[in-house]
Amino acid sequence: MDPNNEHGVKRYLILRTADGSPLPTNPWILSETVKRIQETRSEHTYTNLQTVMKLLNNVAVVVEPHPTYNNVKFVFTCGSIASLIEDEIKTHLEEDNVTDVYRFTRKSDGKSVPTNSYVVTMQAVKIPEYIYIGMERIKTRVYYPRPIRCNTCLQFGHTKNNCKNGEICATCDEKTLGPCTLPAICTNCGGAHSAFDTNCPKYKQKAQLIKLKIDHNCSYREAKQMIDSSSGPKQTLASTMKQRINVAQIIISLKQTIQTLKSRSRD
């Protein structure tokens, strides 16, 4: 028995309207507009909730697994699988709910050389402390992806495939390309360094946002609020947490709605 539902894997579902319109504003039916999250450890609830088609006021809704909260990424280092390709490793780890394995590379003399470090995607909501590679028990580490930077315009937040800007020089921030002897000006912060410099304050800020987002399991916006609150006026961590509590209340109201819905459908 598990009366408090403390065991089992916690998973997240989201609720949205079937036609993409905002959810009802009445908090007793459901609150406000955006997607709401339901978390559960019960297999039965997880399956049952996904059959909910309508709210009390007949608004057609869809309940589906959350696209990102049910997956985690982590890193491990192991030399004894160096001869295997990523797909083979993934196949061996499928029992552990691993869905993707990516091997890191490093640059050496302009060529990509594989390393012994791997990033793993696993169906779980918390990263495991260890991963077993055959008989070997290997400690895992948190994966912090590097900030996305465009190779064409060198700005953050998009890749060259989605770039709407022109190509610029990584050294001098001018549109003329090729070997450059001009003094360095970073296109992102205006500092006296190349746009590829990882000591760029803008780069560091982006990296810090990613770290906060992962460490606190929060959205990019919430992470930004935490940084703003530590430097700017009173948008504090406490108020960020308060917003999260409001979401928790909405979840409670959602649970009540579903309970009522269930008891009605039994009548």
To the nearest whole angstrom, how small is the minimum distance from the Cβ of residue 162 to Zn ion?
7
Q: Is 109 helix (H, G, I), strand (E, B) or coil?
A: coil
Rank residues 62 and 163 by Cβ distance to Zn ion and give the closer one: 163
Cα gap 212→90, rounded to integer Å:
29
Rank residues 70 and 188 by Cβ distance to Zn ion and give the closer one: 188
Rank residues 15 and 169 by Cβ distance to Zn ion and give the closer one: 169
| Contact residues for Zn ion, defined by CB under 5 A | 150, 152-153, 163, 165, 169, 171-172, 180, 182, 186, 188-189, 191, 200
For 125, other C-beta atoms within 10 Å of its C-beta total 17
To the nearest whole angstrom, how small is the minimum distance from the Cβ of residue 174 to Zn ion?
5
Check: CB of residue 29 under 8 Å from CB of residue 256. Answer: no
To the nearest whole angstrom, how small is the minimum distance from the Cβ of residue 220 to Zn ion?
19
Nearest to 23 by CA among 264, 254, 181: 254
To the nearest whole angstrom, how small is the minimum distance from the Cβ of residue 210 to Zn ion?
17
Amino acid at position 52, single letter:
V
In terms of residues, how long is the chain? Answer: 267
Burial status of residue 15 (CB atoms within 10 A of its CB: 0-12, 13-18, 19 or more)? buried
Amino acid at position 44, single letter:
H
Rank residues 128 and 191 by Cβ distance to Zn ion and give the closer one: 191
Rank residues 28 and 196 by Cβ distance to Zn ion and give the closer one: 196
To the nearest whole angstrom, how small is the minimum distance from the Cβ of residue 146 to Zn ion?
15
Pairing of the two strands 36-40 and 11-17: antiparallel
Cα gap 194→172, rounded to integer Å:
7
